[in-house]
Amino acid sequence: MGEPRREIRTPDAPLPGGGYSQAIRRGNIVYTAGLGPHDPATRQVVGDDIAAQTRQTLRNLEAVLAAAGAGLGDVVKVTVHLQHLGRDFAAFDRAYREVMPEPRPARTTVGSQLAAILVEIDMMAVLPG
């Protein structure tokens, strides 16, 4: 049957507000939940533009990956939801490129209705070793 699923949880990223985990690890693969630009301590949205919200979202995801023993360099697939795809894509992409190491992972970017945030991102990473 293989290795069981294991929950990944860290107070260094926003804790789930519903029935989901911050991430799940199965074998050497880590799947994160979609996270947004919330401060882990206050749960308040950080930043009022797409660049600031993207950076905070990536910090949150980096914290979850670290709790699983991975880093941004281990990410192989990213899915991005933007509240205003046409308006914000270029600024999002610039902020994303600042943070994500090369070679950058495969990525899907879509427009979505989001509640009070401009961006939500989830990742899949393969653990080193």
For the segment 62-107, what is each residue's pLDDT rounded down to a tens digit? Answer: 999 999 999 999 999 999 999 999 999 999 999 999 999 999 999 9
Q: Are strands 119-126 and 29-32 parallel, antiparallel or unpaired?
A: antiparallel
Q: Which spans in 10-103 are helix H?
A: 50-67, 85-99
> pLDDT category, 1, cuts 50, 70, 90?
low
28-46 b/e (C-beta count within 10 Å ≥ 16 → b): ebbbbbbbbbbebeeeebb
**Interatomic CA distance for residues 123 and 116, integer angstroms:** 21
pTM comes to: 0.96
For residue 112, tell me if it sits in a domain.
Answer: yes
**Interatomic CA distance for residues 115 and 4, integer angstroms:** 33
More confident residue, 85 or 2: 85
For residue 105, tell me if it sits in a domain.
Answer: yes
Domain count, the chain: 1
For residue 66, tell me if it sits in a domain.
Answer: yes
For residue 1, tell me if it sits in a domain.
Answer: no
pLDDT of 3 reads 83
- Indicate which CATH number applies to the domain containing 59: 3.30.1330.40
**Interatomic CA distance for residues 51 and 128, integer angstroms:** 29
Q: Which residues form the domain of 94?
A: 6-126
